[in-house]
Amino acid sequence: MNIFWRIFDTILLAIGIAYVYVKYGAPFFGRRKNDIESSLAKAEEYEKKAKELYEEAKISLAEAKKEIEDIKKEAIKEAEIEKNGIIENARASAGKILDSYIKQAKSEIDNQKKRLFEDALDMSFKAVNDILQKEKTPEAYNRINDNFLKLQEDAFAKQSNK
């Protein structure tokens, strides 16, 4: 009889477990199954959206890279134009400075020529005067005067030709 009660208890326990499972477990697991299926569906939807966003981001990134390259090329062109402008301005300034220095040099050379000419005239006058003081003969005076006048005529002719 003991075995009978044990079997009876086991059957009652199995019926109780089956009742609890049917009453509470099946709906719980059903809801859980639906929740999991719903979550998987949402995950698939999110994955599709993520892939779409990824593709859009990829396209946007490619467009941004292209735009950056275009901006870079434009900046390089503008920098090249600016560089050429600076170089041209520098050349023009250098040309003006060179012209100014050349004019100053020519002016200084002309002034030096004039001073040398005046110094040569002064020295020739002094030399003639010294010679005249040493040799006071009329023939010497005439010869010196003729040479002196000839030199002066030559010097004035050269000065007027310039």
> Among 129, 109, 132, 111, which residue's Cα sits nearest to residue 121?
129
Q: What's at 139, amino acid-wise?
A: E
- pTM equals 0.41
Q: Which residues of 37-56 are buried (b: 16+ CB within 10 A; e: fewer)?
A: eeeeeeeeeeeeeeeeeeee
Helix-then-strand count for the chain, H and E: 3, 0
> pLDDT by residue for the chain (162 residues), tens digit each?
788 889 988 999 999 888 888 888 888 888 888 999 999 999 999 999 999 999 999 999 999 999 999 999 999 999 999 999 999 999 999 999 999 999 999 999 989 988 888 888 888 878 877 776 776 667 766 777 788 788 888 887 877 775
Q: What is the largest distance, in Å, between two alpha-carbon atoms of the chain?
A: 189
Q: Measured between alpha carbons, how far is residue 34 from residues 29, 42, 72 in Å?
A: 8, 12, 55
